[in-house]
Structure 1
Amino acid sequence: MIGSKIKNLREHLGYTQPEFGMFIDSKINKTPPTSFDKKTVYGWERGRFLPNTERLQVIADLAETDINTFLYGSFEDYIIGLVVYEDKLLTKGSEEKNLYEFIVYHPFSPSLSSMAMENEKLIKFFANLTLENKALVANQTYEKCLRENLGHFDSIEICKTFIASISAFLFNDIRGYTLQIQMEVERIEQEWTDFLQEVSNDNNALPNMEGIQEIFEALTNFYNGLEKINEQYSNLNTEPRK
């Protein structure tokens, strides 16, 4: 893709491969070169290797953009790709993770909301949003990134901005409040299920199972009651409980 951009730029300017290389180097060196190996430009255009930083800067200037935008596309498209389509984050290391994986793998302070949930729970909520709502969060994330002057490689700060955008988006809706309670109900149900499995072979440790069953039914009814509140007052659509 980058090679195609270089080729399109060269052809737009009307240069052959050797002429293009000579023109670029003439912008860098005080003494213009008298020749240039066309295999070098051919390698760029075939994607075999990239120009060095100095040459990349000249190429980006010719394209009237900055190096990162020339290489990786507009920052807006990059953020939308990360948030909506799970594209890979650009990092200065060798990691290849999408935004969600990176946030879970690199724990950092959660949103500053007074009702902040764990980042992983926010990601779980976001994953169940409709595409339309994900796009809204992506736009909010992009606007916040612009205000903070973030760039393509500001991975941690982009992740924090994304989490803050989910939190702000969520807590502007009634579901932001019911969701916390529903997640707590799910946690209790799971803990009790695990406990009952552990003591299932010890009859002396088993509680009254009829009573336990009624508690589970009460929790389910409570959970479903919250979901009815969501259906009536929430503007956010998520996947139903399985």
Structure 2
Amino acid sequence: MEQSYDLKEVGKRIRKIRISLGLSMEEFAKKIDEKAKSGTVSNWETGKNLPNNERLKKIADLGNINVEYLLSGNPFDNLSIEEQNKFIESQVESYLLAEFKEKHYPQLESFLEVPGNFYVNQYKLNSEDKKLLYNVAMALFGDREKNYPSDEQIKKEHEEVLHHIAQQRKS
């Protein structure tokens, strides 16, 4: 199944490469292919048509990018498989750490913003009650010295929990 690309956007990326190299359309055409002319480059840059695969590869090489990125404009496509995997892994780690932080170190503000019911002594709080609870808590604790753990401390504890879970699975 052939993928369609926004020819005008591809053209803008080709133009950006040409301009970054400081080349005229004629000079750029000669770097790509002996048969290419400035009109050919103009057609690419204005989105009238796409270069063939061989020319796309040469343009991408000149721009020090992947052909996939040249066509899609998606920065993820300009990463190697290893870089993509590292990126995904870092995103998953960040998400899991944020979830850990939210569950193990909840902030009253976040807790009160969660949709759903919140009860105190079996009394369901409405939005005004939640605001009152927050204001009372701030009046009681607002001036105290902050002792919330740093992100590094939370990350270390999270890693310790993951290590402990891994050890339990091995046994």
TM-score (norm 2): 0.45
TM-score, with structure 1 as normaliser: 0.35
Which structure has the larger Rg over C-alpha atoms?
2
